[in-house]
Amino acid sequence: MGSKNSIGRDPTILKAREKVTNAEAAERDADRALLQAREMVKEAREHVKMLEREALEDARRAKAKQAEAKMVSKSASGLGRHG
């Protein structure tokens, strides 16, 4: 029988260790990717909420502008009576 060192250098053992090492690295990469994806989702949701707030504010301004334009239009309705 061979020594413990020669068993540790057996190609099938080496291949198995390599596969385990590669799997561990893949899991670390997957964990990092998952964290990054979660952060991107969080940022996207925050951006959408900001966009919705901006749209509401734009709608309020547009409504106020429309009301002001209506008042100006009413005051202009008397123009041209002498012409």
Question: Look-up: residue for tokens 């057996």?
Answer: 10
pLDDT at 47 (0 to 100) = 98
* Residue ranges for the chain with pLDDT beneath 50: 1
pLDDT at 4 (0 to 100) = 63
Q: How many CA atoms lie within 13 A of 39 on its CB side?
A: 6
pLDDT at 73 (0 to 100) = 92
Helix (H) or strand (E) holding 64: helix 11-76
Predicted model pTM: 0.62
Question: Look-up: residue for tokens 């061979």?
Answer: 2
pLDDT at 81 (0 to 100) = 77
